[in-house]
Amino acid sequence: MSTVKHTTERALQLMRQLPRVKLNNIRNNPGAYKTQKRGRAQHGGDKHGDGMKSHCNYMRLGYETGNTPFYLRFTYESYYKDHHLRREYPPISLNQLQTMIDTDRIDTTKPIDLATICLTGLYDFFPDQRQYGYQLTDEGANIFKTKVNIEVQHANELVIATIEKNGGVIRTAYFDPYSLQALRNPKKFFERGVPIPRRMIPPQDAIEYYSNPKNRGYLADPEAISHERLVLAQKYGYELPKIEDDVDYEMLSETKDPRQIFYGLEPGIVVNLEDKSIIRKREN
Amino acid sequence: MALRNFLKFRLPLLQHRQLNQSISFIPVRASSFNASEEFKDYDNHPDVVVTKNPPEWKYVERLLGYQVIPKPTVKSEYPSGWTAPNPELYKDLPYFIERTKNYMLPVYLHITFRGQRRTTLIKNIEGDIWQLEQELNKVISKRVQKRIFSRINEMSRQIVFKGDYVTLIQKYLADRGL
């Protein structure tokens, strides 16, 4: 004769026999979801969710019930405001730059500029899409070791500190789209047989950036820049290497004129690649 | 009527002329090519001097770049983490991975389905591809403590791992001198 079991015990015994709750057998509680059905009686389907507004077949154009039209329902966020005026600087990280130097794509015994970066074949940009050169980003700032003289279009404080800590020189410079086309592929530009143009001065909203010694702008006062170099060294806590005593002083002090595009080539000359000659205006 | 017609058609012209006169006093701005001189006849162009083998040619040569990708030279250290292949280490391995034309390891991350799926692709594998997969699978699953799924394409000499293990694989291959 079997003993009479308690209800709890019987329920537990039942649970032991039942399958475990798994992803393949879980269900919603009955009535948890209500499927929407259209009424079929006298006034069942004659308003289409629009209440007493109208007895139309579909909603009024631009409305989805209520008095607010769809185009006014959400706030306006102008992500693309002034997109036709904004300048873009596609990034290159310090890590990428170091890899290019390690694999001998860039010669650090000569100053680096946008043309050098494009000549590696690992970077390209499109001046016609308002891309105004490259920005050097701080990814890999902890591993960067090389002494370089580099000209960039945009750089932040950490990048400037990293370059200067390693005994290098950094300068931010603006180039107008026509000059950028020449820098993007110098050989193609020389083959056109046109004189090297003068670099244009930056537009009004970029002048402030490029004349600020904190950004190492190419229009800034050189004495203010050397002061800011010292300030940044103190802020980041490194000893500023003396460029004047460096063996590569000549390379590190090489700069471009604010109206010049290529190193060592003044505007107005024509470069003939075939005859290895330079054509310039006769001076009286 | 005649006066009205005159005013209607000539007045804007007169105003325009006055406007032009005032424009000529605006200083030249060097931020646009609109300010530069107009192109004149070829005969009016200035005399030129042609200099052969000029001292500036070294600056021109700097801008011509290289025709062939330069082979990385041997250095005491590579701060970027790039390593040169070492035949001393890899000569006894049953497999080999050829470097790309840029002298990099052919290990790539593929992101598909808007970042939902990440796969790691290894290319240019020669030799025993099955053993390489086993070794990598063991190393990765030991590191991440879970089962790793992979696909071997012996025909195209490729292995695909499900997940982002690029740095892990690159380090393992670099340690073996590949």
Confirm if A153 and A135 have CB atoms less than 8 A apart. yes
Helix (H) or strand (E) holding B11, with range, is helix B2-23
- For residue A49, the model assigns a pLDDT of 66
B27-58 residue pLDDT tens? 666 777 777 777 778 777 778 999 999 999 99
**Residue A79, in any domain of the structure:** no
Which chain A residues are Cβ-neighbours of B31 within 8 angstroms?
A: 176, 200-203
Confirm if A248 and A109 have CB atoms less than 8 A apart. yes
Tokens of A86: 């904004």
Q: Which residues contact A51 (CB under 8 A, 6 or more apart)?
A: A65
**Residue A178, in any domain of the structure:** yes
Confirm if A48 and A64 have CB atoms less than 8 A apart. no
Which chain B residues are Cβ-neighbours of A265 within 8 angstroms?
A: 56, 59-60
Return the residue of B nearest to A100 by Cα: B80
A19-36 residue pLDDT tens? 888 898 888 998 898 888
- For residue B39, the model assigns a pLDDT of 75
Delineate the domains of chain B, giving CATH numbers in brackets: 87-175 (3.30.780.10)
Could you give the ipTM of this predicted complex? 0.78
**Domain with A207 in it:** 91-279
Which residue stretches of chain B have pLDDT < 70?
Answer: 1-29
**Residue A57, in any domain of the structure:** no
Contact at CB, B79 and A263, closer than 8 angstroms? no
Which candidate from A105, A187, A277 shows the least CB-CB separation from B52?
A277
Return the residue of A nearest to B47 by Cα: A282
Q: Is A179 helix (H, G, I), strand (E, B) or coil?
A: helix
Contact at CB, A95 and B80, closer than 8 angstroms? yes
Which chain B residues are Cβ-neighbours of A259 within 8 angstroms?
A: 30
Return the residue of A nearest to B75 by Cα: A102
Which candidate from B30, B71, B77 shows the least CB-CB separation from A201?
B30
Contact at CB, A265 and B60, closer than 8 angstroms? yes
Distance from CA of B75 to the nearest CA of A (A): 8
A99-155 residue pLDDT tens? 999 999 999 999 999 999 999 999 999 999 999 999 999 999 999 999 999 999 999
**Residue A240, in any domain of the structure:** yes
- For chain A, the domain total comes to 1
**Residue A148, in any domain of the structure:** yes
Task: Give the DSSP per-residue string, B109-172.
Answer: EEEETTTTEEEEEE--EEE-HHHHHHHHHHHHHHHHTS---EEEETTTTEEEEES--HHHHHHH
**Residue A123, in any domain of the structure:** yes
| Cα–chain center distance at B54 | 33
**Residue A78, in any domain of the structure:** no
A224 vs A240: CA distance, rounded Å? 16
**Residue A238, in any domain of the structure:** yes
